[in-house]
Each structure stands twice: as structure tokens, then as C-alpha cells.
């Protein structure tokens, strides 16, 4: 299944014309369809101010050539109607706008072998670029656990938590998807060149911005809504109070995805934004991969097994026996009458308990009275 070619070409042109996620544009595409919108714009109709010199720019574009060039760079343009189109993105139609960004993307430029319709079982792991060693460690652990459980890990390819998340997934041999703010052909940040090369070979690099586009700030905000929409849930590992990761979490909440946060030291500014959201109830608290799987997986698939309590010999004693044991002096011997006084219990029940404790190996009795064994002292 694949979208009609005329529609794809119209979407290519519109993708090049506007900013990623600009609501005027995504709204008009939703209302009129890409072909009709392009034709109207070419005719310079006045559509909510978009007409300015748009017609000229639109006429100068050659979408077929764009697609051709993209293909030669290893990029494809996935649009609604394609079998590969991740239909979860359609939820964006009803999710409102943030920072004048919103709506279903006109199309996605994709580099890499991973097919986007494989994102049904996926998890976003995002957080601060200025992550601490603690945050890096936890993000990697959670991403690795998710990847091992078969969830596709999605992040934004940035410094800090994003990088740790991608690495955690890669460490398990799984593909990972990076949704970026610049063109999918570009590398930003440059220091992540090797990582992007790996992701492009094994997973996918995805962008709403056409090839060649630079990573402008506003594009990160538009990008965040895609990370939230493409996944079943978003885990924020570290986020300071105004972190962009909270913008992703906000989108995830609007889209009725699971929103999770990992706590950290309350003395760490890098966790402040997460703690605020946990306090307000906007996020649920997770501490490890197993917690996350319990939240995002279909009911019952990944129930957390509570860490088993270590049952000690002492735990097998009755409460009365423990009470008597606690009344036996630590260093010397004592008679059962003295132990009964200390325990505040009657002599008969204390004698019974001491007998049971001797059998269990916690006390020994001789002519001087009762004393603790090595086992009781342990």
C-alpha cells in the first residue's frame, strides 16, 4: 500500500514550504488535503495569510527532483496512506497546539532500514542534555531493558539522556529510532556523527524537516510532539525546570500516552522538573526498566515481580518466640524467671518459647540459665 504519487509530490512541496509542525500549514492540509492546498497556494488564494510570496516559492520547487535527490542520499518520504505510515501520528489531529506547533506532520523524511509502522510497540526515553552521570546510567539501563523486552526505543539524538537512551538500546543489538529537528541527512550535534551513522544503518533517523534543514530552536519543539506521538509512553529521566523534555512529556500527556518520570536526588537541579511533574501527578514514578514495562505493556504482559524478601530463620519464629529471644541477654546467661520479667510475659509461656528456641538453635540452656547461640547473634 502506498499513497498516490500526486499526493506525495504535493506533500514534498508543502514540507519544503513551511516550518515543521506549523499549525496553519498542518491545519490546512487536514482541511483541504495536500493537492488542493498546493493548487490553491499556487493560485495565490488568500488563505489565512499564507499567500504572501508563497506562490512564487512554491512554483520554484521541483518535488520530483527533491524526492530523487533524497533517495540518492538514502532518504525516503513517508506520507499518510503509505503502508509504513505510523498511524499513531494521526492522534496529533486532535491534540491541540503548543508554541504554535501541532497537527499531523505533512510527511516524514526517513533514513535507515527500520520501518516506521514497527513503532507500535515503542518507548520514548528523553531528558536533559546536561545530564548527570546518574541520569546517563539510569537512561541506559531503562532503554536496554525496554529494548530487550521488544520495545523500540525512540529518542532525539541529543547530548545527555538522549544519547544514553540510544546507546542503551544499541547495547542490546536492537535498532533504535532518532527523531531529529534538522534534516534527516544532517548530523547534529556533530559529536554524534558515529552514533547517527550506526542508527542510520540499523534503525531509523526521522525528521519532519526536509533534507538540508538546520536545527533551529523552534524545530525542536515541533519535533518533541513526534517523539511523544510515535511511542506508547515517554520516560523522562532528568529534566531541569524548563527542560525541553518536559515539552515532550506534555505532548505525551495530551496524546493520552503514558508519561513516566525517574526521580533523582532532590538536591540535583537536573531532576527538579521531573519531581515537579511527579508531585503534580502529571507523571508516574518509575525506577527501573521493569517498572516501565509494567506501565506501557498490554495488561499483564510485564507485571513487576516484587523483589522477593529474604526470609531468615528468625522470620520463621512466632512473634512470642521472637519476643522471648529478644529478652535473652546478649552476653551472659539468664534464668527463665528473669527472661520472663524482661519480656513482660508469664513464666509458663516463656518456658515453652525457650524450649522451641532451643530446638530452632537460637538458645542453649545449662545450669547457669539460657544464653544466645551464634545463630541468634548473627
- Tell me whether residue 88 or residue 336 sits nearer to its own copies (CB atom): 336
**Residue selected from 4, 81, 113, 265 as contacting its own copies according to rule CB under 8 A:** 265
Check binding of 202 to its own copies (CB under 8 A): no
- Tell me whether residue 56 or residue 87 sits nearer to its own copies (CB atom): 56
From 4-12, 107-115, 287-295, 362-370, span contacting its own copies (CB under 8 A): 287-295
Residue 247 beta carbon to its own copies: minimum distance, rounded to whole angstroms: 14
Whether residue 27 is preceded by a cis peptide bond, meaning omega within 30 degrees of 0, is no
Residues 314-333 that bind its own copies (CB under 8 A): 319, 322-323, 326-327
Adjacent-strand bridge partners of 371: 364
- Tell me whether residue 42 or residue 120 sits nearer to its own copies (CB atom): 42
Size of the site for its own copies (CB under 8 A): 55
Residues 38-67 that bind its own copies (CB under 8 A): 49-54, 57
Check binding of 346 to its own copies (CB under 8 A): yes
Nearest to 22 by CA among 219, 207, 205: 219
- Tell me whether residue 300 or residue 307 sits nearer to its own copies (CB atom): 307
Adjacent-strand bridge partners of 78: 108
**Residue selected from 241, 301, 332, 368 as contacting its own copies according to rule CB under 8 A:** 241
From 17-25, 30-38, 113-121, 190-198, span contacting its own copies (CB under 8 A): 17-25
Residues 89-148 that bind its own copies (CB under 8 A): 99-100, 134, 137-138
356 — phi, psi (to 5°)? Answer: -65, -40
CB 100 within 8 A of CB 22: yes
Q: What is the helix (H) or strand (E) element at residue 204, kind and residue range? A: strand 204-207
Residue partners of 191: CB distance under 8 A and separation at least 6: 159
372 — phi, psi (to 5°)? Answer: -75, 145
Distances (CA, A) of 378 to 45, 56, 238, 361, 373: 86, 85, 41, 12, 9
Residue 352 beta carbon to its own copies: minimum distance, rounded to whole angstroms: 11
- Tell me whether residue 117 or residue 276 sits nearer to its own copies (CB atom): 276
Q: What is the helix (H) or strand (E) element at residue 155, kind and residue range? A: strand 152-155
Residue partners of 345: CB distance under 8 A and separation at least 6: 320, 323, 324
Adjacent-strand bridge partners of 152: 122
CA–CA–CA angle 181, 225, 123 (5° rounding): 95
Distances (CA, A) of 265 to 67, 166, 242, 259: 49, 24, 18, 20
Check binding of 87 to its own copies (CB under 8 A): no
From 28-36, 165-173, 228-236, 271-279, span contacting its own copies (CB under 8 A): 271-279
Adjacent-strand bridge partners of 260: 235, 284
Residue 265 beta carbon to its own copies: minimum distance, rounded to whole angstroms: 6
Q: What's the rounded Cα separation, in Å, for the pair 101 and 322?
A: 65
Residue 224 beta carbon to its own copies: minimum distance, rounded to whole angstroms: 15
Instruction: Point out which residues bind its own copies (CB under 8 A).
Output: 17-19, 22, 49-54, 57, 99-100, 134, 137-138, 214, 216-218, 241-242, 262-267, 272, 275, 278-279, 284-288, 291, 307, 309, 319, 322-323, 326-327, 340-349
Amino acid at each position: 500500500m502506498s499513497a498516490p504519487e500526486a499526493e506525495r509530490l504535493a506533500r514534498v512541496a508543502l514540507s519544503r514550504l513551511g516550518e515543521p509542525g506549523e499549525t496553519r500549514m498542518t491545519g490546512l492540509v487536514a482541511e483541504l488535503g495536500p493537492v488542493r492546498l498546493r493548487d490553491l497556494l499556487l493560485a495565490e488564494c488568500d488563505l489565512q495569510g499564507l499567500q504572501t510570496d508563497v506562490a512564487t516559492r512554491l512554483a520554484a520547487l521541483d518535488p520530483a527532483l527533491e524526492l530523487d535527490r533524497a533517495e540518492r542520499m538514502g532518504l525516503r518520504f513517508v506520507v499518510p496512506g503509505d503502508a509504513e505510515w505510523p498511524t499513531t501520528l494521526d492522534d496529533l489531529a486532535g491534540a491541540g497546539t503548543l508554541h504554535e506547533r501541532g497537527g499531523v506532520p505533512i510527511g516524514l523524511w526517513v533514513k535507515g532500514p527500520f520501518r516506521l509502522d514497527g513503532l507500535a510497540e515503542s518507548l520514548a526515553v528523553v531528558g536533559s542534555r546536561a545530564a548527570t552521570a546518574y541520569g546517563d546510567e539510569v537512561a541506559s539501563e531503562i532503554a536496554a531493558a525496554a529494548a530487550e523486552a521488544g520495545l523500540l526505543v525512540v529518542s532525539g539524538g541529543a547530548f545527555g539522556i538522549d544519547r544514553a537512551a540510544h546507546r542503551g538500546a544499541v547495547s542490546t543489538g536492537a535498532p533504535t529510532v532518532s527523531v531529529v529537528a534538522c534534516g534527516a541527512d544532517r548530523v547534529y550535534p556533530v559529536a554524534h556523527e558515529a552514533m547517527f551513522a550506526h542508527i542510520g544503518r540499523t534503525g531509523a533517523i526521522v525528521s519532519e524537516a526536509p533534507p538540508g534543514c538546520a536545527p533551529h530552536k523552534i524545530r525542536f519543539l515541533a519535533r518533541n510532539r513526534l517523539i511523544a506521538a510515535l511511542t506508547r509512553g515517554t520516560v523522562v529521566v532528568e529534566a531541569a525546570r524548563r527542560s525541553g523534555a518536559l515539552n515532550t512529556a506534555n505532548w505525551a500527556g495530551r496524546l493520552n500516552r503514558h508519561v513516566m518520570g525517574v526521580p533523582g536526588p532532590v538536591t540535583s537541579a537536573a531532576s527538579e522538573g521531573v519531581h515537579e511533574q511527579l508531585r503534580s501527578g502529571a507523571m508516574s514514578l518509575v525506577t527501573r526498566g521493569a517498572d516501565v514495562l509494567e506501565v506501557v505493556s498490554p495488561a499483564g504482559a510485564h507485571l513487576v515481580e516484587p523483589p522477593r524478601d529474604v526470609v531468615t530463620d528468625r522470620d520463621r519464629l512466632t512473634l512470642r518466640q521472637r519476643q522471648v529471644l529478644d529478652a535473652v541477654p546478649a552476653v551472659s546467661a539468664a534464668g527463665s524467671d528473669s527472661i520472663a520479667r524482661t519480656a513482660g510475659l508469664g513464666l509458663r509461656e516463656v518456658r515453652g518459647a525457650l524450649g522451641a528456641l532451643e530446638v530452632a538453635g537460637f538458645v542453649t540452656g545449662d545450669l547457669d540459665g539460657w544464653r544466645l547461640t551464634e545463630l541468634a547473634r548473627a
